[in-house]
Structure 1
Amino acid sequence: MSTAARDRTGLGRVARGGALNMAGAAGGALLNLGLVVAITRGFSPDTAGVLFAATSVFLIGSAVAGLGTPSGLVYFLSRMQARGTGHAAARVLRTALGPAVAASLGAAAAMAVLADDLAGLIGEPDAATYLRLLAVFLPFAVVTEAALAATRAYHVMRAGVLLDKLGRPLGQLALVCTAAATGSAGLLAVAWAGPYLPAAVLAWWWMRRVVGAHRPEAPPGPAVLPVSPGSPGTAGAGEPSDGAGEQVSPRAFWAFSLPRSAAGIAQLGIQRAGVVFTAALAGAAEAAVFTAASRFPVVGQFAAQALQFAAEPRLAELLAAGDRRGASTLFRASTAWLICLTWPLFLPAMVYAPLLMELFGPDYAAGSRALVVVCLAQLLASGLGMGDLVLTMTGRTRSNLVNNLLALAADVALCLLLVPAAGASGAAAAWAGAIAVRKSLPLVQLVRSPGIHPFDRRWALATGSCLVWFGAVPALSAAALGTGPGSLAAALAAGSAGFAATLWLLRGPLELDLLLRRGGAPVGAAG
């Protein structure tokens, strides 16, 4: 593809925004991994398991209270920018943020009042105190996520990197280490959730600054009437659309956002249900083992989220302009980039799973099988790309909701079947099954409708390179040198050197050279 064509598609902007997010994601992943290590090494497995179960409830509650506003803000604000109607952004922000803040206050009150019942439901009565403390900070988590989503709609990635990827987890790590040093398990919940408060204040300020800087003056003449779902421009039958008007009606906004909210809750349920079910069916210690096993793949998930945050507004703009070819190109290129970012993490982790699990302490070594299964699931998720995001940006949030509900149902059913017998390994297998459902269904729907899929030459080059340098090389190193730290270091050194050389040779076909270009969209636009 020519440079001009790639600039029109926005690959350069997405690549640079993804690189910035990736840098933040790498730091954030290390901080979050350090946070889990600090908890597991500073407190007993039972205490760690109780906290992990309580924070899972907190995150599910914040997803419920968010009402899908982050996705809605990115979708509508990006489309309005593409159509030159950005002067109406304030109306969209009022439509979104008022109900979200009210819902978060209600959810926080319900969480505090029902703390004993929720603790009993997850099988950990000691979690009630944690839940009451966490409830205080739930509205700040909702505000932070919504405000940062609004900045992403304008391709401003610095706010999310500095506040969400680095600032908040750094604060959490510092406070948790302080609690561990003092031996006070009672401070754990406040240490984990406290940084959401300053993050919310700064995110709100940054959102107002970005929106104000990008708001054009309203054009003269009468405003176009608000558009409701089903009007011209819908992306699919029965799906909401903002049409081509200057304003977005509350009905149109919530017709898009509420199904996305329910899908996000289901998706978070897939991520966290294993912890809750393992705590309830196999005990807090097994829940802590499963949580620890899932931390290494979370590094890859942060990388995927980094690229998704950069691609999301551009996909909305391309689809708003009817450029399905450009959206397909972005989908395929981003899938290859995602594989190059994440498979080098998952493949060696499978080979050296026992060694990595020992980082959390001797009680966690038995979780190596769970780590292998979770890594396999993440290989599949990365290899199939961001089909769920593409489906959402076409406006088909109801289809996305159905997909996530089916995946959650699979996760729950498999947890009930496998966790009582296999503990953490059973929860990992259930998670893998849910991911297979959630990632494969959007591809079937996209192929049948817009004809978009992630597979092309770039996909083959990315997977082949990763399998050679981070699959075969670590396997050979483990066979020759064992699975100790020296063997892992040698495998990573050889694999990284070979992979870097391969990516340099393939930078054109993989379109990684866009990271080095300053043409097209300005580099600062991604920041």
Structure 2
Amino acid sequence: MAALISTGLPGLSRLNATARSGLAGLAGAGVGAASQFLTVVLVTREAGQETAGTFFAVTALCMMVAAILRMDAGNGLIYFIARSRPFGYRCTSGYVRAALVPVAALSLAVGAAVFVNTSDPALRVLSAALPVMVCSDLVVSATRGFGTMRPTVLLDGVFQPVAQLVLVGAASLTNPGSVPLLAAAWALPSLPVLLLASLWLHRRLPYAPYLPGTAHDLWRHTWPRSLAAAIQAVFQRLDIVIVAMLAGPVEAAVYTAATRFKVVGQLAGQALAQATQPRLVRALSEGDLPRARELYQSAAMWLVLLTWPIWLGYAVLAPWLLGAVFGDGYASGVPVALVLAATMMLATACGMADVVLTSAGRTGSSLANLVAAIAVTVALDLLLIPGFGALGAALGWAGGMVVKNLLPLWRIHRLYGLRPFGVHSLAALKPWRAS
């Protein structure tokens, strides 16, 4: 195992723990990102652009609806479970029930309604899988409240995307023109993830009687973030759906292929955010701003170090890479790739500003920021996609990303004096040695 050489700086061991947890999450996220990327490559190469674009659009729509139905209850559970650590996690089973019951009931109702009211076979397949997808993510999120990344890394980071790659690959090779078969293969791995994560949580969750007010406390904290998560889900996926609606499935396929590298670059942020969030919650709830500053600045430095080379390389290689990887029909996505690379470099330079904001309990401010971002994105999409297709969608997404990152950055600086770079950025760069 690698360990950071001690320098005598206060709090270095906390940074070291965060880095180790972040790297563990990064390893799992790396496997997951590679698997997701290869899944897209298989579909684009084996299926036609019409089939690929339709598949990408319906799965994007499914992920968007699933994220809305989760209501960000997973992050709410992380918040309450992490805060209960000094008390032996007592009463945490009540919070899990308070989150899981309404989320499961709502997802079942929506899935049933879509199944009954649509004739599209692909949408019917995904509506049947919707409740399982929603609940599996919620249960996996709850495990992170205990300060461990292992279930997230193994189940969400490795097992699910690898299983999707294998199953979607088999479906695309046997019947590449069948969107319902591809959709079923993509959704199926959520079921074993739900079962395994539930077993892990059941074994470690101390049972306690359900206390009055538990649901009220959970949802009073979570409801602003629930709306924010719904808007975030729309922000992340709506562009693919709008491109398919306004410019057709072929443009949707080109846009999805060109922006698929976003997953590769975002995996570092996802891993570091999952590892850092419980520590930020504890630091900010205890009023320990120096510790919060250490965590924020070290994570921001690692984000830049890990992602900027990826984005610079993608910008340089995009003219060759898109055609070589996805096929000749996808080389027109080069302008999309350049917009994506520049925007992601700016976003990572802001650090995990929104994670800090929500860890401090400022979920209302996070919601307002996301409302502004989605408004900018939709306005630009509707204005630019009809004339510019995939490039118009990329420009709309970029405008929303700028708003999404700069507003929380300004907010946490104004409230807590936090900025993404400082003395703790240098501490994050101390040399590593083998232990």
Question: TM-score, normalised to structure 1's length?
Answer: 0.77
Structure scoring higher RCO (CA < 8 A, sep ≥ 6) equals 2
Q: Given the alignment of the two structures, is residue 87 of structure 1 paired with residue 90 of structure 2, yes or no?
A: yes
SS at match of 2:91: helix
**Residue pair 2:71, 2:229 contacting (<8 A) in 1 also:** no
SS at match of 2:205: helix
TM-aligned CA deviation for residue 305 of structure 1: 0.4
TM-aligned CA deviation for residue 84 of structure 1: 2.2
SS at match of 2:195: helix
**Residue pair 1:70, 1:145 contacting (<8 A) in 2 also:** yes
In 2, Cα distance between the equivalents of 1:272 and 1:302?
A: 17
SS at match of 1:198: helix
Q: Give CA deviations for 1:276-309 in whole Å, capped at 9, x if unaligned.
A: 1111111100001111111112111122101100
Amino acid at match of 1:283: G
Aligned to 1:132: 124
Q: Given the alignment of the two structures, is residue 24 of structure 1 paired with residue 28 of structure 2, yes or no?
A: yes
Q: Given the alignment of the two structures, is residue 304 of structure 1 paired with residue 269 of structure 2, yes or no?
A: yes
Q: Give CA deviations for 1:129-153 in whole Å, capped at 9, x if unaligned.
A: 2111011111111121111111111
In 2, Cα distance between the equivalents of 1:3 and 1:146?
A: 39
Aligned to 2:373: 407
TM-aligned CA deviation for residue 330 of structure 1: 0.7
TM-aligned CA deviation for residue 211 of structure 1: 2.8
TM-aligned CA deviation for residue 7 of structure 1: 5.1
Amino acid at match of 2:11: R
Aligned to 1:73: 77
In 2, Cα distance between the equivalents of 1:278 and 1:367?
A: 13
Aligned to 2:3: none
In 2, Cα distance between the equivalents of 1:259 and 1:2?
A: 41
TM-aligned CA deviation for residue 512 of structure 1: 4.8
Aligned to 1:145: 137
Larger Rg over CA atoms: 1
**Residue pair 1:263, 1:401 contacting (<8 A) in 2 also:** yes
Q: Given the alignment of the two structures, is residue 102 of structure 1 paired with residue 130 of structure 2, yes or no?
A: no
**Residue pair 2:64, 2:238 contacting (<8 A) in 1 also:** no
Q: Give CA deviations for 1:341-388 in whole Å, capped at 9, x if unaligned.
A: 111111110011111211111100000110110111111111101000
Q: Paired residue for 1:5, among 5, 10, 21?
A: 10
Q: Give CA deviations for 1:41-70 in whole Å, capped at 9, x if unaligned.
A: 110111111111111111111112112211
TM-aligned CA deviation for residue 6 of structure 1: 1.7
**Residue pair 2:39, 2:165 contacting (<8 A) in 1 also:** yes
Amino acid at match of 2:261: F
TM-aligned CA deviation for residue 209 of structure 1: 2.5
SS at match of 1:452: coil
Aligned residue runs from structure 1 range 40-55, under 5 A:
40-55=44-59
Aligned to 2:348: 382
Aligned to 2:299: 334
Percent of aligned pairs with the same amino acid: 39
Describe the shift of the 1:512–1:141 C-alpha distance in structure 2 as closer, same or farther (beyond 3 A).
farther
Q: Paired residue for 1:258, among 223, 227, 237?
A: 223
Aligned residues, how many? 427
Aligned to 1:368: 334
SS at match of 1:263: helix
In 2, Cα distance between the equivalents of 1:517 and 1:36?
A: 37
Aligned residue runs from structure 1 range 204-215, under 5 A:
204-212=198-206
**Residue pair 1:17, 1:155 contacting (<8 A) in 2 also:** no
Question: TM-score, normalised to structure 2's length?
Answer: 0.93
TM-aligned CA deviation for residue 5 of structure 1: 2.5
In 2, Cα distance between the equivalents of 1:114 and 1:390?
A: 41
Aligned to 1:476: none
Aligned to 1:168: 160
SS at match of 2:90: helix
**Residue pair 2:251, 2:389 contacting (<8 A) in 1 also:** yes
C-alpha RMSD of matched pairs (Å): 2.1
Aligned to 2:194: 200
Runs of 4+ in 1 over 6 A off after TM superposition: none
Structure 1 gaps of 5+ residues are 117-127, 227-247, 460-507, 519-527
Aligned to 1:180: 172
Aligned residue runs from structure 1 range 257-276, under 5 A:
257-276=222-241
In 2, Cα distance between the equivalents of 1:47 and 1:196?
A: 23
**Residue pair 2:68, 2:233 contacting (<8 A) in 1 also:** no
Structure 2 gaps of 5+ residues are 1-5
TM-aligned CA deviation for residue 4 of structure 1: 6.9
